[in-house]
Amino acid sequence: MSRLQVVSGKGGTGKTTVAAALALALAREGKRTLLVEVEGRQGLAQLFGAEALPYEERKIAVAPGGGGEVFALAIDAERALLDYLQMFYKLGSAGRALKKLGAIDFATTIAPGLRDVLLTGKACEAVRRKDKAGRYVYDHVIMDAPPTGRITRFLNVNDEVAGLARFGPIHNQAQAVMKVLKSPETAVHLVTLLEEMPVQETADGIGELREAGLPVGRVVVNMVRPHHLDEDTLRTAAGDHRAEVARALSRAGLGGARRGGLAERLVDPLLTQAAEHASRVELERAQRTVLAGLDLPTYELPLLGAGVDLAGLYELAKDLRKQTVAE
């Protein structure tokens, strides 16, 4: 498994949930995992039922089986820029003075590319960080990244910066970040649903990542709904079998099958639901065919009917863990 796992996906596919479940799945057997948020939405805090994440690494969960720990960090671009100024230019209090004057906010707002440089740089610093014994502080860093539509530009921004600043600390920092992002240490996973638009955006995103030389990891199909009907029943749903269904309902004790009886009145809504289910199954099969053509490993996570709470998050992590071990 790569040490930096970047999770992206079209809005509404549940990429933040998948990133959190992946962090729990990887934090096993005593492993330490850092879960990084870069969009400022505090979605991770909500999932784990925690207070808003500060700009510091904080333990938010213990993984099942082995006692591995999950830490989380919400990266703030302004604070990251202050760190950057201190690290490379030793500004110290002068950097804090710039913040009071609003210069930091101005710089990160006027140059959105700079914001992305700071966010990716902070995450890659966590990947490379070692303790006094020379061991990596974190076994895995999971980034809840921007949506698929801008993930390639977000990750590739340091390449552009390295080209613009041809020497000095900015150039060196940008090159160091891209060395991590384009190495086997990194994998970019895309989250999708079995629906036409998310699958198409996933396919487009994979093409863009590959063209940019960024390492594509896996496709995670999220919120997969169960198929309640077998093949024979699906075929029945596609035809006109009103009388047959009415008789079956009557035999089940749901009233007479005669016209106007309870069983007969239930036929239309049942056939409508069955037809909708059959149509969805056919659509999902078509999207699975498209995903298979991408030639990437695929994980599937179930739809949790009651929504995703902390218990559900652990259940998704368990599912991911099983699929990882099965590879």
pLDDT digits (tens, 9 = 90+) for 36-57: 999 888 888 889 988 888 788 9
Residue 321 pLDDT exceeds 70: yes
Spatial distance between the Cα atoms of 43 and 41, rounded to a whole number of angstroms: 5
Q: Can you tell me the mean pLDDT for 284-296?
A: 93
Q: How many CB atoms lie within 10 A of CB 115?
A: 21
Q: Can you tell me the mean pLDDT for 126-130?
A: 92
Q: In the prediction, which pLDDT does 96 show? A: 53
Spatial distance between the Cα atoms of 274 and 269, rounded to a whole number of angstroms: 9
Question: CB-based contacts of 181: which residues, under 8 Å, 6+ apart?
Answer: 4, 120, 124, 155, 156, 158, 214
At 229, the pLDDT band (50, 70, 90 cuts) reads low
**How many percent of the chain have pLDDT more than 70?**
69
Q: In the prediction, which pLDDT does 50 show? A: 85
Question: CB-based contacts of 241: which residues, under 8 Å, 6+ apart?
Answer: 271
Q: In the prediction, which pLDDT does 186 show? A: 96
Determine contact, residues 274/282, Cβ cutoff 8 Å.
Answer: no
Spatial distance between the Cα atoms of 272 and 300, rounded to a whole number of angstroms: 28
Q: In the prediction, which pLDDT does 22 show? A: 95
Chain segment 6-18, per-residue pLDDT in tens: 999 999 999 999 9
Question: CB-based contacts of 203: which residues, under 8 Å, 6+ apart?
Answer: 290, 294
Chain segment 176-227, per-residue pLDDT in tens: 888 999 999 999 999 999 999 999 999 999 999 999 999 999 999 999 988 7
**Highest mean pLDDT of the ranges 199-208, 235-244, 314-323:** 199-208
Residue 110 pLDDT exceeds 50: no
Residue 165 pLDDT exceeds 80: no
Q: Can you tell me the mean pLDDT for 93-122?
A: 59
Residue 300 pLDDT exceeds 70: yes
Q: In the prediction, which pLDDT does 106 show? A: 44
Q: In the prediction, which pLDDT does 63 show? A: 85
Spatial distance between the Cα atoms of 117 and 177, rounded to a whole number of angstroms: 9
